[in-house]
Amino acid sequence: MDDVEIREKLLKCFSAVFPELNPVDIQSANIENTSGWDSIAHVTLLTLVSEEFGVEVDFEKFESAISFSAFLILIAETASPGCS
């Protein structure tokens, strides 16, 4: 899976949890500037990432992922080729 594909899939996950954000806003979204990013939204995001990328998400590792870009980095590390 290349970076573009990962970015697109992650955009889809963020868009499902924060439907009021447009694709540009999503890419700069973080826990501070996004209303509604609470613990429930965070778990929902993690579950969507697991569903979308077909990977098992490590909750502890992703606990510190509090921005779109942090998610992007961790997913790139987690998603191995062909796992989806």
Partner 1 sequence: MAYSTRARQHCSHCASVRKERVAHSRPVTLFNGMRLNDALQIAGRIGGIGKRSVHLLCGFTPLHLQTYVKAYLRLRFPEVSIQVLPGLYGDLEGNLERALGQSADGVIAVIEWADLDQRLGFRGNGGWRSQTIDDIVAQTEEKCSRLQMKLEALAQKIPVTLISPTLPLPPLTQNSPVQTSKLELRLNSILGEFLLKVSGCGGIRLMSASRLAASSPHHTRHDVKMELATGFPYSLPHADELARLGVRCLFPDEPKKGLITDLDQTLWKGILGDLGANGVSWSVEDKSQIHALYQQLLDSLAESGVLVAIASKNDFSLVNEALSRTDLLIRPESIYPVEAGWWPKSESVRRILKAWNIGAGSVVYIDDSQMELSEVAEKFPQIECLLFPSSDSAGILALLKHLREIFGRTEIREEDRLRVASLRASNEMHTDVSEAHSDEFIARLQAKLTFEDSQAASGRAFELVNKTNQFNLNGLRFTEAEWHMRFSRPDSFLTTVSYEDRFGPLGRIAVVGGSCQGNHCVVDIFVLSCRAFSRHIEFQILRRLFEKSGAESVLFVFKPTERNGPIQAYLSQFGSLQNTAAGGLEVSSEAFVKACPKLHHEVIEKWTM
Q: Which of 5, 8, 38, 51 binds partner 1 (CB under 8 A)?
A: 51
C-alpha closest to that of 65 among 78, 83, 82: 78
C-alpha closest to that of 82 among 27, 2, 7: 2
Angle between helical axes of 3-17 and 68-78 (0-180°, round to 10)? 130
Select the span of 14-22, 23-31, 72-80 touching partner 1 (CB under 8 A): 14-22
The tokens of 9 are what?
Answer: 């899939």
d(CA 40, CA 47): 11
Select the span of 12-20, 24-32, 65-73, 74-82 touching partner 1 (CB under 8 A): 12-20
Residue 10 is a binding residue for partner 1 (CB under 8 A): no
Shortest Å distance, C-beta 13 to partner 1: 7
Binding footprint of partner 1 on the chain (CB under 8 A): 12-13, 16-17, 19, 39-40, 43-44, 47-48, 50-52, 54, 56, 59
